[in-house]
Amino acid sequence: MKLGDRLVQLRKEKNYTREDFAKLLGISKYTLRNYELGVTEPGHPFLIKIAELFNTSIDYILGLTEEREILHSYELKALEYDHIKKYRSLDDSGKKHIDYELDRECERIQQIEEMKKQLATELSEEIAQACTYPYLGKIACAGTGFYFDDIPTDTIKAPYVEGADFIIGVSGESMEPDYHDGEKLYVRKVEYLRNGDVGIFTIGNECFLKELGEDGLISRNKNYDDIPGDEKVRLIGKVIGKVEL
């Protein structure tokens, strides 16, 4: 169906005379007559008004589809609409040439977007591997305690983890099977923990990796004693993950 035929169809669906329909659209009845007969073609603003008035798509008005649902095609820019009109005026040979060029350009843009994504991923990985954290080596005791002065003097490169303030090494077996001797942990400095959270604690100058319980600090390895809550425990931070190098 052509544009002019579609305009006649839509007008008659609403039982408008040509004169009444033209007034509604803000044009003369002679201009509307020329549109309906295909003598002239309307501009993009006119098509938008028709699409909004009949709650349908410009594709439907142009006769490009029989589906009436709104596809937001009225957001088409005027220049894009001009391209469509020019395309429709071409013969089959011209249309095939344009189709070929469009496919080639779309493929080029797709390749560029894929390259951008790949570069962004590689850059993200490089940045992640390049993060430097303060490091307390083998000082979080999963056992009986190690000396701790709360002043990291070393640094270590590790993948970025959001919220991590420093990395600490594990020494001992009291938190097995979840945490093992020699592992490195990301720690976030916090002022409180919930019961069940694993954190870094100090008692005096000794440092411990333990789970916070209702009555004290818990050793997950049952071969090791828990630390009762009456001890003068100081919270250093919350364990938020393991370092994967």
- Return the pLDDT at 153: 66
> For residues 159 and 200, is the Cβ–Cβ distance under 8 A?
no
Q: Please name the amino acid found at residue 183.
A: E
Q: Which two tokens stand for residue 99?
A: 């189709």
Instruction: Write out pLDDT tens, residues 65-74.
Output: 777 765 444 4
Tell me what pLDDT residue 43 has: 84
Q: What is the pTM of this model?
A: 0.48
Can you tell me the distance from the alpha carbon of 133 to that of 243, in angstroms, rounded to the nearest whole number?
A: 11
Going by pLDDT thresholds of 50, 70 and 90, the confidence category of residue 78 is low
The fold for domain 3-88 equals: 434 Repressor (Amino-terminal Domain) (1.10.260)
Tens of pLDDT, residue by residue over 26-35, are 899 999 999 8
Which residue did the predictor score with more confidence, 69 or 39?
Answer: 39
DSSP of 137-161: EEEEEESS-EE--S---EEEE----
Span 156-206, pLDDT tens digits:
888 888 899 999 999 889 999 999 999 999 999 999 999 999 999 988 878
Tens digit of each residue's pLDDT (9 = 90 or more) over 192-214:
999 999 999 988 878 899 999 98
The DSSP secondary structure of 89-147, one letter per residue, reads TS-HHHHHHHHHHHHHHHHHHHHHHHHHHHHHHHHHHHHHHT-EEEEEEEEEEESS-EE
Q: What is the CATH architecture assignment of 132-242? A: Ribbon (2.10)
217 burial via Cβ count (<10 Å: 0-12, 13-18, 19+): buried
Q: Where are the domains of the chain?
A: 3-88, 90-127, 132-242
Average pLDDT of 213-233? 88
| pLDDT value for 74 | 46
